[in-house]
Amino acid sequence: MRIATLLSAGLCLSFGLACESGPAATGGTESTSEGAGAGAAVGAAGAVAAAGAPAAAATPTDYSKPDVWLCRPDKPGACAVDLSTTVVAADGTLTPEPFTPNAAPPIDCFYVYPTVSNDTTGNSDLVAGPEENSVVAAQFARFGSQCRLFAPLYRQVTLTSLRAALSGMPSTADRTLGIQDIAAAWKYYLDNHNQGRGVVLIGHSQGSSTLTQLIKDQLDTAPLDPRLISALLIGTTITVPKGADVGGTFKNLPFCRANGQLGCIVSYASFRTTAPPPATSLFTQSMDPTMVGGCSNPAALAGGPAELHAYLNAAGSGLTTAPAAPWTMASPTVPSPFVSVPGLLTGQCVDGERGSYFAITVNGNPADPRTDDITGDVLTAGMVQADWGLHVVDVHLALGNLLDLVQAQATAYAARSGAAAATTP
């Protein structure tokens, strides 16, 4: 199956390609060779929204009901989890790092999770399963150190539908359902919870694609809504003209290039430095030849390489078939659900032929007792699928840096809001 076939099946929104303009793709081969496709390989972090024909008018989701939220301040739910971390130093020393949520966070975070649903239908139901709960714990709950947390359930396109689309089978999914749900959840949040507070939008993969549509429909305005602090759109492709920070996917919302910058986006797709995106990559490139995929490194927004502050699942990514090696030879296990590995990972936005990507260098040292690698590659039948890069751990790789960025933006937002209040008659 060629990429053009996948696009015509409705996958372009989640691949982040500029499907609305430019010539149709004519090259490339399928990213996987069997029905499992991204299957267990992409697993909970899945890549995308496959779309079938729009279904008949569906009943709107009522977001006044607490049970259609994974997290809300009055219902912590999936965000009330153990986020304790073990810091694994290069010399093998293990240091506990407890997590303390912010008792009075000054801003809000609104999160849309990636393709995780294992429901057998084309679109998921609105009942949280272990897959939704676990991805919230891994990607979003830690933002409770900075924000009030809002994470709606939505009728996303399922892994079942993704596998069908990637293997050329008909899809019964309707991607508009998820888009409608998130628009309704956003409206409910604004009408009932926002109260003029600054907000950060956070998404990964299908979640990022769905938020991209929300931004295009409601928030990509001139002037920008002053409540929009930033949008962290990870694991998708946001296009820009080559050498520019805005003017492609978004007309008014630029890439963030400084820690205190407000009204901007952070977006990247991660690949190992040793395995850059191939021509068939699902990320970084645009269907429009005048556009390229952009990249912003949350650890160094102005550019260049920087150490990444990762928060990785202690048991490994859980999304590939590769077993996780012990974090240190001194101990086969660690006493926490998450680990941090200072000095092990470096990230840099690199300009490739088809766009910029987030190049991840693993600084393994065989002479020290700490592990020399991480899991996160997508595997099919034991073979690494280079098209996907490190998609399943996109957020994990720089989660600590994203938290630091949100903290800096919250400080800048408070300063701006205070200055505006002081000058108001």
Domain map (residue ranges) of the chain: 3-423
- Residue 302: what are its φ and ψ, rounded to 5°? -80, -10
Whether the ω angle into residue 101 lies within 30 degrees of 0, i.e. cis, is: no
pLDDT at residue 85 greater than cutoff 80: yes
Amino acid at 371: T
Other CB atoms within 10 Å distance of the CB of residue 192: 10
The per-residue pLDDT for 247 is: 96
Q: Which helix H or strand E contains 267, and what residues bound it?
A: none
CB-CB contact of 398 with 256 (8 Å): no
Length, in residues, of the chain: 425
Note the Cα 77 to chain centre separation in Å. Answer: 20
Question: And the tokens for 383?
Answer: 């073979």
Q: What is the pLDDT of residues 264-317, one digit of tens each?
A: 999 999 999 999 999 888 898 888 888 999 999 999 999 999 999 999 999 876
Note the Cα 333 to chain centre separation in Å. Answer: 27
Region 104-110: mean pLDDT is: 97
DSSP for residue 425: -
Contacts of 336 (CB under 8 A, 6+ apart): 82, 84, 85, 86, 96, 314
CB-CB contact of 204 with 395 (8 Å): yes
Question: And the tokens for 220?
Answer: 């990509």
Q: What does the alpha-carbon distance between residue 383 and residue 379 come to, in Å, rounded to a whole number?
A: 5
Q: What does the alpha-carbon distance between residue 38 and residue 48 come to, in Å, rounded to a whole number?
A: 10
Q: Is 172 helix (H, G, I), strand (E, B) or coil?
A: coil
**What percent of the chain is predicted at pLDDT more than 70?**
83
